[in-house]
């Protein structure tokens, strides 16, 4: 229910502006924060349209644990009803982030590089970790297995599906065009650790489709650590972004079912998550948002 509610609140514009693969990183942002003497770099790849500032509490928490971190923000138009633009943008992200990781690893002598991908980022994230020994651990949060199928059946992306149908492009055709973007075909280095967090009530990337990623990895010899929550797509992401320490405690305790009072809070929490995903509030607005969050958390 909450996934449908929030999806309806988020913009469904098809406008890609003047975005091209060449100017993609002019329109993107990244932030590297180094913790002295750290041997681990955590690379955080954003969900669709996720702003750089939304990582602020995650960054603070990571630095407290004496690890370094690298965050990205990409234009919403990287994923659109233009299949070639989408493919080219994902390929550009792959090449650039790979190079960033290698450069930082060599400069700071990081021993571990952890790639955290949220939602849509499971697609271009899989391109980054494919046969990449620089990535030692992968953490997927609410991922999908195949970008075309996820888009076709997800509640958030029905406007894209309708546009592709009007163009005469079928799901089967799109799967072929986006073959290289599908996590089901992109495997990490054999020694890479893989953790996956699913939401059984996910309607943005339907749980059945996302779960197939774990099945595919296991069939190809990878050992995965999987935790499944009963929450929806946005709520899990919201927990990570707004309260990283509690999120990690939550995972440690394997709390897969919310209490009745938690369920009563979901509606209000969903509205806060929608605000985070759709706009960049002022500093005072952000302070108010966090204050309201703690008032109901």
pLDDT tens, 151-193? 999 999 999 999 999 999 999 999 999 999 999 999 999 999 9
Q: Which residues pair with 137 in a beta bridge?
A: 114, 193
pLDDT at res. 120: 95
Higher pLDDT pick, 253 / 284:
284
Q: What is the CATH number of the domain that holds 36?
A: 3.40.50.1820
SS (H, E, C) 84-106: HHHHHHHHHHHHHHHHHHHHHHH
pLDDT in tens, 92-126: 999 999 999 999 999 999 999 999 999 999 999 99
The structure tokens 């700071």 sit at 108
Does residue 183 form part of some domain? yes
pLDDT-derived band of residue 211, with 50, 70 and 90 as boundaries? very high
- What is each CA distance from 293 to 56, 60, 231, 270, 286, in whole angstroms? 15, 18, 18, 11, 10
Report the candidate in 116, 104, 112 with the shortest Cα–Cα distance to residue 34: 104
Share of the chain above pLDDT 90, in %: 62
Range picked from 33-37, 84-88, 140-144 for highest mean pLDDT:
84-88
What 3-state DSSP class applies to 249?
Answer: helix
Report the number of distinct structural domains present in the chain: 1
pLDDT-derived band of residue 287, with 50, 70 and 90 as boundaries? low
pLDDT at res. 64: 86
- The b/e string for 19-52 (b: 16+ C-beta within 10 A; e otherwise) is bebeebeeebeeeebbbeebebbbbbbbbbbbbb
Does residue 234 form part of some domain? yes
**Summary mean pLDDT of the chain:** 84
pLDDT at res. 3: 73
| 78-92, 97-111, 145-159, 270-284, range with the lowest pLDDT | 270-284
Does residue 269 form part of some domain? no
pLDDT at res. 2: 66
pLDDT in tens, 3-21: 767 677 666 778 899 999 9
Does residue 290 form part of some domain? no
Does residue 148 form part of some domain? yes
Does residue 78 form part of some domain? yes
Residue 199 structural domain: 15-258
Does residue 134 form part of some domain? yes
pLDDT in tens, 243-269: 776 555 444 433 334 444 444 444 444
Using DSSP bridges, classify how beta strands 29-33 and 68-73 pair: parallel, antiparallel or unpaired.
Answer: antiparallel
Does residue 243 form part of some domain? yes
pLDDT-derived band of residue 242, with 50, 70 and 90 as boundaries? confident
């Amino acid at each position: 229910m909450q996934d449908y509610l929030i999806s309806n609140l988020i913009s469904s514009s098809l406008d890609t502006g003047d975005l091209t693969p060449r100017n993609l990183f002019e329109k993107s942002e990244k932030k590297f924060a180094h913790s002295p003497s750290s041997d681990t770099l955590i690379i955080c790849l954003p969900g669709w349209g996720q702003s750089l500032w939304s990582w602020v509490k995650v960054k603070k928490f990571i630095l407290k644990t004496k690890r370094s971190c690298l965050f990205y923000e990409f234009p919403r138009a990287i994923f659109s009803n233009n299949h070639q633009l989408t493919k080219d943008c994902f390929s550009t992200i792959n090449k650039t982030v790979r190079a960033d990781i290698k450069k930082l690893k060599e400069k700071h002598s990081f021993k571990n590089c952890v790639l955290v991908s949220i939602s849509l980022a499971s697609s271009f994230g899989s391109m980054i970790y494919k046969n990449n020994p620089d990535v030692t651990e992968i953490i997927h949060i609410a991922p999908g297995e195949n970008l075309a199928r996820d888009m076709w059946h997800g509640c958030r992306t029905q406007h894209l599906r309708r546009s592709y149908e009007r163009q005469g492009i079928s799901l089967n055709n799109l799967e072929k065009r986006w073959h290289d973007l599908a996590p089901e075909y992109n495997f990490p280095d054999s020694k890479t650790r893989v953790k996956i967090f699913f939401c059984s009530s996910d309607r943005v990337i339907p749980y059945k489709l996302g779960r197939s990623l774990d099945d595919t990895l296991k069939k190809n010899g990878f050992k995965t650590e999987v935790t499944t929550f009963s929450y929806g797509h946005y709520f899990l992401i919201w927990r990570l972004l707004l309260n990283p320490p509690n999120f990690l405690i939550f995972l440690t305790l394997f709390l897969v079912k919310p209490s009745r009072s938690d369920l009563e809070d979901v509606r209000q929490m969903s509205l806060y998550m929608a605000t985070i995903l759709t706009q960049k509030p002022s500093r005072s607005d952000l302070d108010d948002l966090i204050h309201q969050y703690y008032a109901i958390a």
